[in-house]
A and B are shown apart, each in its own frame.
Chain A
Amino acid sequence: MRKPLEWAWLPVGLLIGLALGVGYAWVLRPADFGGAEPASLQPVYRGEYILLIATAYQADGNLDRARSRLELFPELDPAVLGSLAQQVVAANGSEDAARGLALLSVALAKATPLSSMEAPATRSRSPSPRAVATENPTLALTVPPLPTATLKPTLPSTATKLPGYVLLSRDRICNPLITRPLVQVVIRTPDGKGVAGVAIRILWEGGGSTFVTGMKPEFGSGYADYEIESGKAYQVTLGDGLTVVRELSAPTCPGQTAVAGGSASAAFAGSWRLVFEKR
């Protein structure tokens, strides 16, 4: 009866040793820490890192490099980037960063998925940011200057300065499928390509906000919209503040328009669609 009791000291020692060994390996001398990946950053630094990727992309236009950097954050896809851009705008954060995120979101949505490391054969893969910016001028050169952060509408100060955008059309939209009145903005180049990353300032009495094209890539890279309230007058300002559309209020659409087949229904608030061309 004494032998089994004596052998019991072995597992007791094992348990003590295991605890000591694990404690030593986890606390006193962890495995050689050569550093962590950006995905392990604290949320605040993680956000900064992602914004830095976007601003660096905006600066150099190197999509391959931006993509390989973003692959460190597996949860980031173009839609998430677009959402982040909206958050940055909503939080009055850096407009450069918001514009970079929006541009990146659109560029990635058009390009290969993030999970693919290899660039498509049709796109040259230059290691030089400068070279890529030259090869893909629409990314680097179509970004207009942003308006200054003022709530007051800015009028042209000199007769010689031309606006960067021209209003091509201003259409009332009476579409019952659009349940809430919107100001829809489409910005395109003279050859019809959408221009992403343009900040649009919308002002109303006692307030203002900014929204950016390209955050809803499903509607095109040059598309942006802003929900408005019925009965309020809005003013939209683009780029350098020289392009201004005033007196925008949700139009009243007749009920007949709302119902297919001609049966009557109540009138509803419509939307506006503004199409601009970037010079």
Chain B
Amino acid sequence: MKRFVLLLAGTVIGVLAGAWYGWSVSPVTYTEISPDQLRPEFQADYVLMVAETYAADHDLGEAAVRLSRLGQADLAGLVRRTAEAYRAAGFPEADCALLLNLARDLDHSSTLPTAAP
């Protein structure tokens, strides 16, 4: 009985120590990720970069392909939500306008690729 208690106590302490180590001391780090695994703020900036580039080259197909890397099917909705978030956060209106322009053009297009596999 005492052996069992000792084994159980050791296991419980070990689990707690192991979880603490795995969560706090040496948590999992992520490498080789895809754009849809970026932090939300970087995803938003990615969308803004696509909109900035689109404003210059007017290549809607390329913009759609780039946006599809974020793994969402509703590309126009993604861009519009980003614009709303930027506006709410007080970003320059020029940035929001670029995003909304891209969202509008995506809405109007019917020949865009779907989300990347």
Contact = CB atoms under 8 A, between A and B. Distances in A.
Interface residues of A, number: 48
A40 B33 CA distance: 6
A9 B9 CA distance: 9
Given A6-B2, A12-B7, A20 B15 contact: yes
Main SS class of interface, B: helix
A52 B53 contact: yes
B27 A30 contact: yes
A49 interface: yes
Given A40-B33, A42-B32, A53-B49, A9 B66 contact: no
A107 to B, nearest CB: 16
Q: Give chain B's interface residue range (CB within 8 Å of chain A).
A: 35 or more
A117 to B, nearest CB: 16
A6 B46 CA distance: 60
Nearest to B65: A48
Contact of B28 (A14, A31, A49): A31
Main SS class of interface, A: helix
Nearest to B62: A94
B94 A128 contact: yes
B77 to A, nearest CB: 19
A24 B35 contact: no
A58 B52 CA distance: 9
Given A13-B12, A17-B13, 6 more contacts: A10-B9, A13-B11, A14-B14, A15-B10, A24-B18, A26-B28
Interface of B: 2-4, 6-24, 27-35, 37-40, 42-43, 45-46, 48-50, 52-53, 55-57, 66, 69, 91-92, 94-95
29 contacts: A6-B6, A9-B4, A13-B14, A14-B17, A16-B7, A17-B15, A18-B15, A21-B15, A22-B18, A25-B28, A33-B30, A34-B39, A37-B42, A38-B38, A38-B42, A41-B32, A45-B33, A49-B46, A52-B49, A52-B53, A53-B49, A55-B57, A56-B53, A59-B52, A59-B55, A69-B49, A128-B94, A129-B92, A130-B94
The 7 closest A-B CB pairs, nearest first, are A17-B14, A21-B18, A13-B10, A25-B22, A35-B39, A59-B56, A31-B27
